[in-house]
Structure 1
Amino acid sequence: MLSRRHFLTSLVAVAAAQAISPTISFAAEKRRIPWRNWSGSQQCFPEFRKAPSTVAELQEIITSSKGVIRPVGSGHSFSALVPTDDTLVSLSRMSGIVDHHPEKLQATIQGGTRLGDIGQPLEELGQALTIMPDIDQQSLAGCLATATHGTGAGIGCIPTMVEALELVTASGEVLQCSEQENAELFQAAKVSLGSLGIITKVTMQNSAPYRLKRETVWREFDEILEVAEDMADNNRNFEFYYIPFTGMGWTDVHNITNEPLGSTERLDTNDGANDLKLARDMLSWSPALREVILSTYMKTIDDEVVIESSWKNYANDRNVRFNEMEYHLPRENGLKALKEIREVLEENFHEVFFPIEFRYVKGDDIWLSPFYQRETCSIAIHRFFEEDYQEFFKAIEPILRKYHGRPHWGKLNKLTVQDFSRLYPKWKEFNQVRQQLDPQGKFLNPYLKQLFT
């Protein structure tokens, strides 16, 4: 038994070393280990997996590797940004805060750092991220690549908080980018889909640590529509959810407070998703009865109040997996689009049970930001990961497009290069920069080749 355990321990140690070493890879064609994203909707069989711990190691990987190189973070994107059968590069060993400026409330953070690992260290330095999304497992570089956002009509996406970044290009060159240095590249690199190079460090403009009071209130759908615009204008962070086949949803607001930490009893959102699935399964024969029972139950749920440090109050655990499509629409079109989506969903897709998420984001001037030059509402629809999402998404996407939506870069969509070039005024300029930095397409996997070549 001891010999077998020793043998097993040795195998595990070798496998771990291969997984993290910048110079050792899985190269045997028949023994490639698959990579899959969080939901399982994207996968590939990379020949090499690299995890450098320094910029110098990353430079050597980029200049010596053959074929396509794709950076990978936490795998929380649903679109095909990552998959390649050549080389995947993880910055998981390039993580943490490397510098900070107390007076300016700025911190320089390595690109591989997960958002969930930033809050406590920043708080100890007297800083906090100005905004966070509702999932905190993404890497910081991945957030920039896809224009990850939170919610708040007066607050932009995470890339708008970037003061400077460090980029390693296809030639191995290390470029420092900011408004003062490589300014044009800076506007392109803040949201780049990982197509310009690999971002190794980011200087963030932060805030002083702050405490948020989160208030969750259950409401009927018609009431949510009536109050949404005013709530968006009068709260720091505001979003709402609609639950299909219930006529009900909930509003969520966050506001800065000095009140003491505390919380009412909280509903577990993962248990809630499982309960909605159970109701769907048991009452699939009668959507009307399903709505009566669920709406009656939801009207008994107490409102919630949670007061916590900002970084603890933004994010939720998402243990029930799903696939997602999210579009960013001009703010004036958001509620109209949502009403149409509800009609199509509840008339044709009785099997859907995941809530629809609706958020607000301030416009910006970043070339490939979906929020470029417009105040925005974001509508996200979901489908349980074990179920086919394609027909549902295919039915909803035309509504989002009709109202001039731009898809979230990390979420599923069917748009082509022609669509994107019409939606983004700076598309041509971005592609020119990309071509100059990576003329051989080293960072272009099959999906990105369709967009940029």
Structure 2
Amino acid sequence: MTAFISVILIAIASTVAFAWFESNQETLTNYQNTFECKPGIIYDPRSIEEVQTIVRQAITENRTVMTGNRKFASQIDAACTKDGEIQITLKNMDKVVQFDAENKTITVQAGMRFNKLNDFLREQALAVNMVTELGTFTIGGMLGSGTHGSTLHKQSNMIADYVTELKIVDGLGEVRVLTGESLNAARVNLGVLGVVVEVTIQLEPAFKVKADVKGHKSDKGLEDKILTIAQQNYSTNIAWFPGLGRYTVTTYNPVPLETPGNAYNAQADVSDFQEYMYGLLFNALHEFPGSSLQCLAATVRYNSRASSYYRDIDTGKKLKNPIGHSDRMQYFQCKKPDQCIWDRLPIALQEVTIPLEQLPNWIKDVKQIIAKHPRTCFPLNGIYFRFSKASPSYLGMNAGRDSAYISTEYTLRKKGEAVPKNYFVNLEIEQMSLRKYQARPHWGKNSIAIFEDMPSRYPKWDEFVAFKQQIDPNNIFTNPFWERVSNQDPLANYLNPGCNASGECYCQTDEHCQAGAQCVPGKHFTDAKICM
């Protein structure tokens, strides 16, 4: 009888604990409110034991689980659970677990934000000197998608490659500590291996960087210069405006920590009035006939990137020769942590990587495409280049190869109103990147259509799947995104009328295009199919 009562008491205690972190049914949305997910329940655990309870309950109920924030930093459903299934957030698991100053390592809970980690480390004169351009991502989310910065001078541009140990709750509800080859499989994990609960990161002595910003009014010979620029500097970002024939270069190079300077990157630090005017401009870009306004906007953006966009953190004064801590210099400071300009304006971003050595040929091809689509401008950030050495990760965008990261941005309209202006040029470039240059799409950005033939793009894809089967034998950790990219839900299922305009397909027939457009071969890369 005593044993029976004990079992009942344990069951009651488990139910009560479970209720502590259960929330009412909610809808998750991405940072721009352009994509939503409808989990059956969202849990906010406070401990590893609570995560285990959730996973074990999911196993008992034959349900699936995914980890992701209520306001997720993705254009698609990469971190969303299937409708009606279980979502976990780690907002309550955001603490430092262990800090070892002597060995320069830190273990944090996976819900910690990257900027909070850097704030802590700065006081210790230490840093993770891989720096992404946005600091508000969670550490777990950065590992899920392979969040990156830009450098060819460090071992990698991904925080994933500075991780020395991962602690996860696997598909059996057990705690696993991953090192060695298992760690390489899990560095970039898409959230489908388990719940990452703790992360141990290798640190370096902190240093400052000096930023140098230059505008170039001719892109002649850019393909011959670009790799040298990237290789000669610690960190390099290049914004190419091919419709204007111009580009800007921002480089960062280390200086001693004691060097005077307290600058920060103020690109995203815009006033409410500026943001309002940007909104009007974005609408006008679609309404105004032709591409003249788009090219005017690109000129304005080029000019703003061609001079220093750094400010002193104490005075707010603009600086011509900015020097500051490596993290503050490289990621954008927004007015509020959860209110950056791209959170409220209709901006979409496509990003891929290609083999680094192929970038000069890629640029030559894009010049050919632009020559056949005159007055095509990229008004937001041009075509944006970043760089990295090869990663040992199985599913990092730079897995096994030195890589060039290529981003294009465009403005959106409300669904059904209009496709982005000159979207067909983006699609020709995109399909050329995929099919001629073996491009790998960013896991958290992009549209549905771009994730074609993903298993063929990663030499260790089969090993990743085998590892998933080993630690998640019941396939508890899955979602619609994983089913699409792993070909369980083929992209052919998304070939519906108008699917090109929504980013769900590359057209095969005219019915896949918006009204009044035809599905035709690309003008330069004829293997592409574009709606014009």
* Alignment map for 1:109-188 (pairs within 5 Å): 109-155=108-154, 156=156, 157-179=158-180, 184-188=181-185
* 1:56 paired to 2:49: yes
CA RMSD of superposed structures (Å) = 3.2
How far, CA to CA, are the matches of 1:277 and 1:305 in structure 2? 33
Q: Aligned residue pairs: how many?
A: 425
Deviation at 1:131, TM superposition (A): 0.7
- Conserved in 2, the CA contact under 8 Å of 1:216 and 1:250? yes
1:191 alignment counterpart = 188
Mapping for residues 228-377 of structure 1, pairs under 5 Å = 228-243=226-241, 245-258=243-256, 259-263=259-263, 271=274, 278=281, 281=284, 284-285=288-289, 287=291, 291=295, 295=299, 302-303=307-308, 304-316=320-332, 317=334, 318-320=340-342, 321=345, 322-341=347-366, 344=369, 347=373, 350=376, 353-355=379-381, 356-377=383-404
Q: Which moved more, 1:300-309 or 1:366-375?
A: 300-309
Q: What residue identity is the alignment partner of 2:351?
A: E
Structure 2: distance between partners of 1:380 and 1:372: 18
Does 1:203 pair with 2:203?
no
Q: Does the 8 A contact of 1:216 with 1:305 survive in 2? A: no
**Residue 377 to residue 298, structure 1, CA distance change in 2 (3 Å):** closer
Offset from partner CA, 1:351-377 (integer Å, 9 cap, x none): 852222110011022111221221100
Distance 1:117 1:381 in 2: 29
Indicate conservation of the 8 Å contact 1:280/1:290, yes or no: no
Letter in 1 for 2:255: T
TM-score, structure 1 as length reference? 0.84
3-state secondary structure, aligned to 2:204: coil
Kept in 2, the 8 Å contact 1:276–1:354? The answer is no
Aligned CA distance change for structure 1 residues 410 and 273 (closer, same or farther; 3 Å): farther
Contact conserved, 1:49 with 1:89, CA < 8 A, in 2?
yes
Shift of 1:400: 1.2
CA distance in 1, matches of 2:52, 2:482: 22
Distance 2:451 2:290 in 1: 42
Q: 3-state DSSP class of the match of 1:324?
A: strand
Letter in 2 for 1:448: W
2:28 maps to amino acid: W
Report how far residue 171 of structure 1 moved: 1.3
Give 1:33's aligned amino acid: E
SS in 2 for 1:222: coil
Percent of pairs with identical residues: 21
**Separation in structure 2 between the aligned mates of residue 343 and residue 227 of structure 1, nearest angstrom:** 18
Distance 1:39 1:131, change over 3 A: same
| Kept after mapping to 2: 8 A contact 1:284/1:351 | no
After superposing the two structures, state which structure 1 stretch, 231-240 or 122-131, moved more: 122-131
Is 2:473 the partner of 1:439?
yes
C-alpha distance in structure 2 between counterparts of 1:430 and 1:381, whole Å = 29
Cα distance in 2 for residues equivalent to 1:449 and 1:119? 35
Q: Is the 8 Å Cα contact of residues 21 and 52 (structure 1) preserved in structure 2?
A: no
Partners of 1:279 and 1:290 within 8 A in 2 = no
SS in 1 for 2:219: helix
CA distance in structure 2 between the partners assigned to 1:148 and 1:71 by the alignment: 16
TM-superposed CA distance for 1:298, in Å, is: 5.1
The CA distance in 2 between the partners of 1:276 and 1:106, in whole Å, is: 44
- Higher mean C-alpha deviation, range 388-397 or range 97-106: 388-397
Aligned residue number for residue 81 of structure 1: 78
Per-residue CA shift, 1:391-421, capped at 9, x if unaligned? 5653332121111111111122556987222
AA aligned to 1:51 is: D
Residue 429 of structure 2, aligned match among 392, 396, 400:
396
Change in CA separation of 1:266 and 1:41 when aligned onto 2, cut-off 3 Å: closer
CA–CA distance in 2 between the matches of 1:307 and 1:425?
Answer: 41
- Structure 1 match to 2:524: none
Is the 2:263–2:328 Cα contact (8 Å) retained in structure 1?
Answer: no
Residues 243 and 249 of structure 1 are in contact (CA less than 8 Å); yes or no, is this contact kept in structure 2?
yes
Distance 1:345 1:319, change over 3 A: farther
Is the 8 Å Cα contact of residues 327 and 408 (structure 1) preserved in structure 2? yes
Q: 1:41 to 1:349 in 2, by over 3 A?
A: farther
Gaps of 5+ in 1: 1-19, 27-31
Measure the CA separation in 2 of the matches of 1:101 and 1:342: 50
Alignment correspondent of 2:101: 102
Task: Deviation per CA, 1:222-277: give whole Å up to 9, x if none.
Answer: 16545322221111001111246433332111111133115599665755996597
Q: Deviations over 1:4-56 (max 9, x none)?
A: xxxxxxxxxxxxxxxx9754332xxxxx4321111334311111111101101
1:69 matched to 2:77? The reply is no
The reply on whether 1:33 has 2:26 as its aligned counterpart is yes
User: Larger deviation: 415-424 or 139-148?
Assistant: 415-424
